[in-house]
Amino acid sequence: MGIFTQFKDNLIGVNKTIPIKEYEKFADDLGFDFILKDDNTILRSVEEFDLFLRNDPRVIKNIMKGKANGIDVMIMEYQYLFYFGNGRNKNLCQTVFFFKSDTIALPHFFFRPRFFLLDRISSFLSNKYIEFDSHPDFSSSYVLTGKDDESIRKFFTNNFLSNYGKCNDFWVEGVGNKFICYIPGIRTKINEMNSRLESGFELLRLFCNK
């Protein structure tokens, strides 16, 4: 199943909830703290990410928080109101992986898998995407945007662009010493959580060794 199909299915409700006891056990296995629901303290601390500036009501819940390999990590469910238009809306919920490390200094960027027809039209109309003539495979597979084109081009070096497959199908946003990974509208299943977490650490390694 493609990421666009997954996203579409979850917008119409194919996104099963996960029992709290499964989150609690996974957090305990990692040595993480489990927090049932954010009191907006976490939300205020992550509002520099565009994802967390969506429509209210915004809710962060089922939070697993701790350190792994000396890195600050949070895994959380984030829910916000998604507008379809014509007066229709739905609460959209996804698992978000948060990483914070003083070993990185990221420009504010965002990248995600490319939706070929939709992004080709959008790029033609606005030309807002950052592309690399030296790495056409990356630019044909991923959409990269950000607030400082020059800084982002300097940061995304040959090593990173050559190993972009480690990103999997994550949507990634970074700024300063932190970044988040998620797939919109999709809760990560518990039996896939470790694999997704490792993908996030692979990204961190790429950021450190760019």
Neighbours of 140 (CB within 10 A): 12
Q: 15: pLDDT confidence band, cut at 50, 70 and 90?
A: low
Chain centroid to CA 206: 16
Neighbours of 55 (CB within 10 A): 12
7 compared with 84, residue with greater pLDDT: 84
pLDDT tens digits for range 78-126? 999 887 667 778 888 999 999 999 999 999 999 998 875 444 544 444 5
Answer yes or no: is pLDDT of 11 > 60: no
Neighbours of 60 (CB within 10 A): 22
What values do phi and psi take at 172, rounded to 5? Answer: -125, 135
pLDDT tens digits for range 61-72? 999 999 998 899
Contacts 24+ apart (CB under 8 A), 55-59: 55/80, 55/81, 55/82, 55/83, 55/89, 56/80, 56/81, 57/81, 57/91
- pTM score, two decimals? 0.86
Domain ranges of the chain: 3-208
